[in-house]
Amino acid sequence: GQQLNQSPQSMFIQEGEDVSMNCTSSSIFNTWLWYKQDPGEGPVLLIALYKAGELTSNGRLTAQFGITRKDSFLNISASIPSDVGIYFCAGQDSWGKLQFGAGTQVVVTP
Amino acid sequence: KAGVTQTPRYLIKTRGQQVTLSCSPISGHRSVSWYQQTPGQGLQFLFEYFSETQRNKGNFPGRFSGRQFSNSRSEMNVSTLELGDSALYLCASSPTELETQYFGPGTRLLVL
Question: How many Å apart are CA A71 and CA A29, to the nearest integer?
Answer: 9
The chain-wide mean pLDDT, for chain A, equals 93
Rounded-to-5 percentages of helix, strand, coil across chain B: 5, 55, 45
**What φ, ψ does residue B78 adopt, rounded to 5°?**
-125, 125
Q: Which residue type occupies A99?
A: Q
- pLDDT tens track for B50-108: 999 999 899 999 999 999 999 999 999 999 999 999 999 999 999 987 888 999 999 99
**Which chain B residues are closer than 8 Å to A102 by Cβ?**
42
Residues of A with CB under 8 A from a CB of B: 1-2, 30-31, 33, 35, 40-45, 48, 88, 90, 92, 94-103
* A96 contacts B102? CB cut-off 8 A: no
The minimal CB distance from B43 to the residues A31, A95, A100 is found for A100
Secondary structure of B54-104 in HEC code, one letter for each residue: EEEECCCCCCEEEEECCCCCEEEEECCCCHHHCEEEEEEEECCCCCCCEEC
The mean per-residue pLDDT over the stretch B24-53 comes to 94
A1 falls in which pLDDT band (50, 70, 90)? very low
CA distances from B78 to A15, A90, A98, B23, B73 (A): 43, 25, 21, 14, 17
Question: How many Å apart are CA B36 and CA B23, to the nearest integer?
Answer: 14
Q: From the centroid of its chain, how far is CA B98?
A: 18
Helix (H) or strand (E) holding B7: strand B5-7
